[in-house]
Amino acid sequence: MRPFPFPSPIGQITEWSHTGDSIYHSLQTMFSSKFQNNSMLQVAYTFSKNLGDTTFGYVNAQTVFADNTNHRINRGPVDFDRRHVLSATLIYNLPGLTHANALVRQVAAAGNPILS
């Protein structure tokens, strides 16, 4: 007697193996500057290109290669490619309250022991 008689009692068995690949190229730049009172500005820009022969949602998608022996024939920009990414950060330190009157210091420091 065979251990798994045909037809199978559990139905069809699907085998999935990931054979795709991807390549990521990028040019990254950053500008950073400090100002008075330790304030700081930072700007970063990335120009990138992500190439691959599969998709981001490949788990449940019906990804079929045109030529199963040559996957590079399907190579192109992937669906999660982000060409331009710009990020900016500004840190501004508020002026101190050492020269303000007592009422202003108490109102500003309410609930914040660092300012008191």
Give me the average pLDDT of each 10-residue run along the chain (116 residues). Answer: 58 64 92 90 95 67 64 80 93 77 76 55
Is the residue at 12 inside a domain? no
How far is the C-alpha of 85 from the C-alpha of 63, rounded, in Å?
A: 28
Whether 91 and 34 have beta carbons less than 8 Å apart is answered as no
Is the residue at 56 inside a domain? yes
Task: Give the pLDDT of residue 25.
Answer: 93
Task: Give the pLDDT of residue 41.
Answer: 95
- Look at residue 8 and give its three-state secondary structure: coil
Number of folded domains that form the chain: 1
Domain that holds residue 32: 22-108
Is the residue at 87 inside a domain? yes
Is the residue at 13 inside a domain? no
Is the residue at 2 inside a domain? no
Is the residue at 114 inside a domain? no
Is the residue at 6 inside a domain? no
Task: Give the pLDDT of residue 116.
Answer: 46
Taking the mean position of all CA atoms in its chain, how far away is CA 14?
A: 32
Is the residue at 16 inside a domain? no
